[in-house]
Amino acid sequence: MKAEQNELLCRTDAGTPMGELFRRYWLPILLSWELPQPDCPQVRVKCLGERMIAFRDTKGRLGLIDEFCAHRGVSLYFGRNEECGLRCPYHGWKYDVTGQCVEVPSEPAESGYCQKIKLKSYPLHEQGGVVWVYMGPADLQPPFPEYEFATVAAEQTYTSKRSQECNWLQAMEGGIDSSHVSFLHSGALNTDPLFKGSKGNQYNLGDKKPVFEVVESEGGLYIGARRNAEDGKYYWRITPWVMPCFTMVPPRADHPMHGHFWVPMDDENCMAWSFDYHPVRELTELEREAMEAGKGVHVRVDRNFRPLQNKDNDYLIDRAAQKAGKTFSGVEGIGMQDASLQESMGPIQDRTKENLVSTDNGIIMARHRLIRAAKDLAAKGALPPGRDPVHQKVRSVAVVLPQGTPFKEGAGEALKAKAGVAQTSV
Amino acid sequence: MKAEQNELLCRTDAGTPMGELFRRYWLPILLSWELPQPDCPQVRVKCLGERMIAFRDTKGRLGLIDEFCAHRGVSLYFGRNEECGLRCPYHGWKYDVTGQCVEVPSEPAESGYCQKIKLKSYPLHEQGGVVWVYMGPADLQPPFPEYEFATVAAEQTYTSKRSQECNWLQAMEGGIDSSHVSFLHSGALNTDPLFKGSKGNQYNLGDKKPVFEVVESEGGLYIGARRNAEDGKYYWRITPWVMPCFTMVPPRADHPMHGHFWVPMDDENCMAWSFDYHPVRELTELEREAMEAGKGVHVRVDRNFRPLQNKDNDYLIDRAAQKAGKTFSGVEGIGMQDASLQESMGPIQDRTKENLVSTDNGIIMARHRLIRAAKDLAAKGALPPGRDPVHQKVRSVAVVLPQGTPFKEGAGEALKAKAGVAQTSV
Amino acid sequence: MKAEQNELLCRTDAGTPMGELFRRYWLPILLSWELPQPDCPQVRVKCLGERMIAFRDTKGRLGLIDEFCAHRGVSLYFGRNEECGLRCPYHGWKYDVTGQCVEVPSEPAESGYCQKIKLKSYPLHEQGGVVWVYMGPADLQPPFPEYEFATVAAEQTYTSKRSQECNWLQAMEGGIDSSHVSFLHSGALNTDPLFKGSKGNQYNLGDKKPVFEVVESEGGLYIGARRNAEDGKYYWRITPWVMPCFTMVPPRADHPMHGHFWVPMDDENCMAWSFDYHPVRELTELEREAMEAGKGVHVRVDRNFRPLQNKDNDYLIDRAAQKAGKTFSGVEGIGMQDASLQESMGPIQDRTKENLVSTDNGIIMARHRLIRAAKDLAAKGALPPGRDPVHQKVRSVAVVLPQGTPFKEGAGEALKAKAGVAQTSV
């Protein structure tokens, strides 16, 4: 890969081609519980290189505005969330959820001064326990997102987030890449409470040379990984990717399905969102406890969403557990196994040194679609795929099919999210 | 404000226009107790971007010299302060308080080698519990400073210092700006032992729309903030600013008067000096205890003068106290309330994004005087105001005046420091 | 010294003149016990700016390869050391000790794909408890190193290492410079169990104006420091330097002899190797315990080889001990006394500000030889001195000679390492 292509894909500040692409989508930015009630403390957020403050006002409305007061640049993190506005702690300038300044105490109200002051702000939308942001031009705002995990009943879904100390793309490429499961996560497949006990795991561990087939979907890709099953049949694990950064992990038996959003904070940090949901039943108490304890795709984090296992402590690598085969890399936990390796590539992976193979086809095609869409947007203003809620209603599937049956045909309707219809999973 | 003006005001390394301006004044650099006795341990100091070592020699003389030995560059912090000189720990080269090398042990004394070696050094002057430095050309050295806090008896005055992680200018502008008191410090006015119990506080809290008038003084500015009092009278709080970086806070009743020096360490750090003194009486034991405990304008610091509340711990922000109105910003303590906000602007505030209003007139005029003085110095060698001790003998005043009386006329002689004359304070 | 000369000497990344010079020698890179047995955990190493992984395979062979997998750039630190190869934790790519990829699980073995993948690797050689690396062109590999400390029986020698947070050159110049001993280490000479009790120490402390004579050796220099002894005789301490970065400390009575390697990790960090050996007897249990406890030239370090005394804690400077004369600089321990001062010069010493004197002649001549050798290598491909094992077989000597006897003549054969022959030491 050429250095300029890598730059194009990895840089997402305002004004960059990929930054503009990201600014055409609704992206997850907060967990609803971070702003639990009207007039609760505001929080700092960083997304696509921009520093902002999110708050919930007296009427419960959500606001996301520039972190710094328009007056003399003080951080509104120290401000007061009161009476339908965020008040700067320095001289009491007050802003509503749209960033509009509604009071400058030192100026006469009749002067109309405060109406001229407006902070940058972006619309938020709350759905499925997640607060979503749209950071693009107002007239191009897409419909609200309808990813299935965020539309099922609250009892059926669980979402967490963790910061990751590397560029978003190498993180997302780990989410697309299902070939590493047989290696990196081999120790966890039969022990993690949210993964174990599936026949699919035996196929997964039994055939370490999966064959990949990738087909385009309306909003991105379906990546099929084929492994040998009994009687000459094939075990297919199908991983959907929806532009720009949504991936799902194929399910295991009746376990909840999971997946991720990989959202750039800045070019060297991203927020990894992890969700688990079941399309037709509530999560059990044991499942929910496991998720909260950092099992499955989830991770234990500190109050800033930094994992307790992190690069400063070498992810608590345990060489004895690695030697004994309990973990493949010595790092405990599926989520941290991924994160540790992705961070180990450096802040921004140097893709000029890669050597890609056929199992990387999903990654290759995703990069091509992203580059193409970013260029089409920059050159022609063409709106990218993945904005339409129909594109977002996908599922990952694990299925055994006869030889000769193309996976997309064999999986058929199971690849679409349909309310009240159970997942297809082995 | 234009970016180049901001650069001009904020950069103070040697050779910059503002750096040269600062190098025409006596500046506080150490508390006397940091060098308590002859031959005590030397200390590291950084001022205007220069790294230096200060020490007190066997005869009690003070020296401030380059941190690094002229021989091979070892830090003299590890040297020995002995027999009227600081000896490098590596090969025993020895320097006196003027930076003159007085011994190179490996060279024959008769060679005269050591006479040729001299470290950069600056004159120090000790007064009022403070060690002052002059870092400019020897022939332009001004008279010794005579700010009142440093000339009253030791029993009447108390000075502390704390490092602040931002440029000096945004720190000083907080010292000039008395309009924020009604907001940021509102919780403290009636509870802080060094602020409470003044009728002025009621005026302060009762009128949040002060009107500002600014007049030039010989050495800088007097900034008058007018609030409504009873019977159509005005309550005036008058804040003097003396070039380049001395500010005072208007007093409250019989409490000690206080103020600050804001001295650049480098472009992204400054030392905030805080003093409290009473012109005609000794500080009480309770007052002194409160100052030592970080009340009033003082702050609790570690042995490197870094506040215990700092940006790494979000200044121990307490959202419950903020919600309950005990503090306005959630941060405890008047000094840290200021410092937290000033640091939150970033290492160097981007003033191209400001929106200044009439209450910022003092700040605007101070910037103009600084820019003008820096340019006049650079272009014509004109020595700036504020060097003359007469310019330094100012007081802040809090006074109730009839409508129609200009504050400077109304306050009159109370704006001048006069030995044995009490402050004018409401 | 000119800035460009300083740059030339200090920069050692691949492609720089000094980097190429270093790449013509065997250099110590690991202690053998860091890789204690076949298939033990691999370790990360950084040398001459290159990040690498070292491991010992199932057959006990040593390998040093690029830290990052050729596939998608994951760090092999998290890999598995198993069955004669290091397996990447992500997709199971496997490399042998030469960096050759021997398995890409996803690709058919018959495709021959993995044969085309080879990581950068360098030959290692294990000798004397030390693992040595040669990072230069294969056809220019010198004979294996034969420094005496690494050729005597294991019972006679002890080696430790510690990282140092500064450029290699200012560290090595401390090793060449024996004139600082009378100052910096004066407190330790009569108390350190590995230094005390030598008559030489009295000469050392008694004459602080040594006269230096420097003569070239085949592989570098002999630096003689002359001090006055009884009866008009001279006490000579002779310090050999072998290119590019090997130094020895003159011995004291029957104590073990010691010395150092100063190996660049990157331009702002180096690894200081410290050895102690006795040519004709085993180290005593007390001596070995003292070395392990950080006495003599050794230092107590954490598991990353960072000293427990370091710049973050000001090397635990003790001003009372300094005042009392127990230590000269306030820092405890000979090794840390040196390291603290060398680090205090900054990451890369600015040699344009130096003032060198006659006692720095050894340093001056070493720099000249290094510059000359680096230029000759770059211009003419001339291989530098110090590669031949004969050049490496040197000893440091402490001897009393009559006036008029040149030290090299007087020390004679004592300057050469000879198996079974005791050191010459006062």
Provide the pLDDT confidence category of residue C190 given band limits of 50, 70 and 90: confident
Chain A residues whose CB is inside 8 A of the C104 CB are 357
Region B321-345: mean pLDDT is 97
Res C209 pLDDT > 90: no
- Do C210 and B106 form a contact (C-beta atoms < 8 A)? yes
Chain B residues whose CB is inside 8 A of the C206 CB are none
Res A189 pLDDT > 90: no
Provide the pLDDT confidence category of residue C178 given band limits of 50, 70 and 90: confident
Chain C: residue whose CA lies nearest to B71:
C355
- Do A224 and A212 form a contact (C-beta atoms < 8 A)? yes
Q: What is the pLDDT of residues A74-98, one digit of tens each?
A: 999 999 999 999 999 999 999 999 9
**Closest Cα partner for B225 from B181, B171, B169, B274?**
B181
Q: Alpha-carbon distance B418 to A311, whole Å?
A: 61
Q: What is the pLDDT of residues C61-96, one digit of tens each?
A: 999 999 999 999 999 999 999 999 999 999 999 999
Q: Alpha-carbon distance A373 to A219, whole Å?
A: 11
Q: What is the pLDDT of residues B145-173, one digit of tens each?
A: 999 999 999 999 999 999 999 999 999 99
Tokens 């998720």 -> residue: A291
The pLDDT value given to residue B179: 86
Provide the pLDDT confidence category of residue B178 given band limits of 50, 70 and 90: confident
Answer whether B355 sits within 8 Å of A105, measured CB to CB. Answer: no
Structure tokens at B301: 């610091």
CA dihedral in degrees (B212, B215, B216, B220; nearest 10)? -30
Chain C: residue whose CA lies nearest to B72:
C354
Backbone phi, psi, residue C376, to 5°:
-65, -35
Q: What is the DSSP letter of C115?
A: G
Q: Of B77, B92, B117, which is closest to C344 when you measure between CB atoms?
A: B77
Q: Of A170, A331, A357, which is closest to C106 when you measure between CB atoms?
A: A357
Region C417-425: mean pLDDT is 94
| Residue C389: CA count within 13 A, CB half-sphere | 13
List residues bridging with C259 in a β-sheet: C248, C275
- Do C32 and C38 form a contact (C-beta atoms < 8 A)? no
Structure tokens at A19: 């930054």
Q: Of C170, C341, C359, which is closest to B78 when you measure between CB atoms?
A: C341
Q: What is the DSSP letter of C49?
A: T
**Closest Cα partner for B113 from B64, B75, B71?**
B71
Chain A residues whose CB is inside 8 A of the C38 CB are none
Rg, C-alpha atoms of chain A = 22
Provide the pLDDT confidence category of residue C243 given band limits of 50, 70 and 90: very high
Let me know how many helices (H) and strands (E) chain A has, helices first. 11, 18
Q: Of C184, C209, C337, which is closest to B106 when you measure between CB atoms?
A: C209
Res C189 pLDDT > 90: no
Q: Of C41, C90, C92, which is closest to A208 when you measure between CB atoms?
A: C92
Å from C88 to nearest chain A CA?
8
Q: Alpha-carbon distance B343 to A73, whole Å?
A: 10
Q: Of B329, B355, B359, which is closest to A70 when you measure between CB atoms?
A: B355
Res C251 pLDDT > 90: no
Res A205 pLDDT > 90: no
- Do B284 and B297 form a contact (C-beta atoms < 8 A)? no
Å from B228 to nearest chain A CA?
13
Q: What is the pLDDT of residues B181-238, one digit of tens each?
A: 889 998 888 899 999 988 999 998 888 888 999 999 999 999 999 999 999 999 999 9
Chain A residues whose CB is inside 8 A of the B210 CB are 106
Mutation for testing the B interface, residue in C6, C212, C311, C322 having most B CBs under 10 Å: C322
Return the exposure string of A361-375: e unless at least 16 CB atoms fall within 10 Å of the residue's CB, then b.
Answer: bbbebbbebbbebbe
Provide the CA A276 distance to its chain's centre, in angstroms: 12
Q: Alpha-carbon distance C408 to C391, whole Å?
A: 16
- Do A395 and A201 form a contact (C-beta atoms < 8 A)? no
Chain C residues whose CB is inside 8 A of the B91 CB are 179-180, 183-184, 359
The pLDDT value given to residue B168: 98
List residues bridging with B130 in a β-sheet: B31, B127
**Closest Cα partner for B275 from B262, B258, B256, B290?**
B258
The pLDDT value given to residue A379: 97
Specify whether the backbone of A386 is left (phi greater than 0), alpha (psi in -120 to 50) or beta.
left
Q: What is the pLDDT of residues C288-325, one digit of tens each?
A: 999 999 999 999 999 999 999 999 999 999 999 999 99
Tokens 């070995």 -> residue: C288
Q: Of B179, B184, B349, which is closest to A106 when you measure between CB atoms?
A: B179
Å from A85 to nearest chain B CA?
14
Q: What is the pLDDT of residues C134-159, one digit of tens each?
A: 999 999 999 999 999 999 999 999 99
- pTM summary value: 0.95
Answer whether B72 sits within 8 Å of C173, measured CB to CB. Answer: yes
The pLDDT value given to residue B350: 97
The pLDDT value given to residue A206: 87
Q: What is the pLDDT of residues B113-127, one digit of tens each?
A: 999 999 999 999 999
Instruction: Answer positive or negative: Cα dihedral of A272, A278, A282, A284.
Output: negative
Structure tokens at A188: 């966890």
- Do B351 and B8 form a contact (C-beta atoms < 8 A)? no
Size of interface A-B (CB pairs under 8 A): 79
- Do C378 and C224 form a contact (C-beta atoms < 8 A)? no
Chain A residues whose CB is inside 8 A of the C108 CB are 209
Q: What is the pLDDT of residues A178-188, one digit of tens each?
A: 889 889 998 88
Å from A263 to nearest chain C CA?
21
Tokens 């059990």 -> residue: A284
Answer whether A77 sits within 8 Å of B344, measured CB to CB. Answer: yes
The pLDDT value given to residue A178: 82
Size of interface B-C (CB pairs under 8 A): 79
List residues bridging with C234 in a β-sheet: C228, C401
Answer whether A68 sits within 8 Å of B345, measured CB to CB. Answer: yes
Higher pLDDT, B174 or C209: B174
Neighbours of chain B (3+ CB pairs under 8 A): A, C
How far is the CA of A116 from the CAs of A71, A113, C276, in angstroms?
Answer: 12, 6, 76
Mutation for testing the C interface, residue in A169, A205, A315, A322 having most C CBs under 10 Å: A322
Q: Alpha-carbon distance B10 to B6, whole Å?
A: 6
Mutation for testing the A interface, residue in C55, C76, C88, C106 having most A CBs under 10 Å: C106
Q: Alpha-carbon distance A383 to C147, whole Å?
A: 69
Burial class (CB in 10 A: 0-12, 13-18, 19+), C144: middle
**Closest Cα partner for C288 from C279, C301, C302, C298?**
C298
- Do A220 and A25 form a contact (C-beta atoms < 8 A)? no
Provide the pLDDT confidence category of residue A271 given band limits of 50, 70 and 90: very high
The pLDDT value given to residue B164: 98
Answer whether C41 sits within 8 Å of A319, measured CB to CB. Answer: yes
Region B46-59: mean pLDDT is 98
Provide the pLDDT confidence category of residue C187 given band limits of 50, 70 and 90: confident
Chain B residues whose CB is inside 8 A of the A80 CB are 322, 328-329
Chain A residues whose CB is inside 8 A of the B208 CB are 92, 105-106
- By DSSP bridging, strand C80-81 and strand C62-66 are unpaired
Provide the CA A400 distance to its chain's centre, in angstroms: 28
Q: What is the pLDDT of residues C326-376, one digit of tens each?
A: 999 999 999 999 999 999 999 999 999 999 999 999 999 999 999 999 999
Higher pLDDT, A413 or A182: A413
- Identify the contact set of chain B against chain C, taking CB-CB distances under 8 A: 41, 68, 70-75, 77-80, 89-92, 104-108, 113, 117
Chain C: residue whose CA lies nearest to A340:
C78
Res B397 pLDDT > 90: yes
Q: Alpha-carbon distance C417 to C411, whole Å?
A: 12
Burial class (CB in 10 A: 0-12, 13-18, 19+), A360: buried
Q: Alpha-carbon distance A138 to A122, whole Å?
A: 9
Chain A: residue whose CA lies nearest to C80:
A329
Structure tokens at B2: 């234009």
DSSP C159-191: EEEEEESS-HHHHHHHHH--GGGGTTTHHHHTT
Q: Of B330, B346, B359, which is closest to A106 when you measure between CB atoms?
A: B359
Answer whether A183 sits within 8 Å of C105, measured CB to CB. Answer: yes
Tokens 């008279």 -> residue: B143
Region C2-16: mean pLDDT is 98
Chain C: residue whose CA lies nearest to B88:
C329
Neighbours of chain C (3+ CB pairs under 8 A): A, B
| Residue A335 one-letter amino acid | G
Chain A residues whose CB is inside 8 A of the B337 CB are 89
How long is chain C?
426
Helix axes C3-10, C361-380, angle to 10 degrees: 70
Chain A: residue whose CA lies nearest to C86:
A329
Helix residue ranges, H only, C211-328: 285-292, 319-323
Backbone phi, psi, residue C82, to 5°:
-150, 140
Chain B residues whose CB is inside 8 A of the A73 CB are 170, 345-346, 349-351, 353-354
The pLDDT value given to residue B254: 93
- Identify the contact set of chain A against chain B, taking CB-CB distances under 8 A: 41, 68, 70-75, 77-80, 89-92, 104-108, 113, 117
Q: Alpha-carbon distance A138 to A136, whole Å?
A: 6
Chain C residues whose CB is inside 8 A of the A358 CB are 106-107
Region A12-22: mean pLDDT is 98
Chain C: residue whose CA lies nearest to A319:
C41
Structure tokens at C41: 């955990």
Chain B: residue whose CA lies nearest to A107:
B209
Q: What is the pLDDT of residues C114-136, one digit of tens each?
A: 999 999 999 999 999 999 999 99
Structure tokens at B396: 């802040």
The pLDDT value given to residue C174: 96
Structure tokens at A37: 């009630």
Res B353 pLDDT > 90: yes
Å from B317 to nearest chain A CA?
8
Å from A63 to nearest chain B CA?
19
Mutation for testing the C interface, residue in B50, B81, B87, B106 having most C CBs under 10 Å: B106
Q: Alpha-carbon distance C345 to B82, whole Å?
A: 22
**Closest Cα partner for A315 from A340, A345, A346?**
A340
Neighbours of chain A (3+ CB pairs under 8 A): B, C
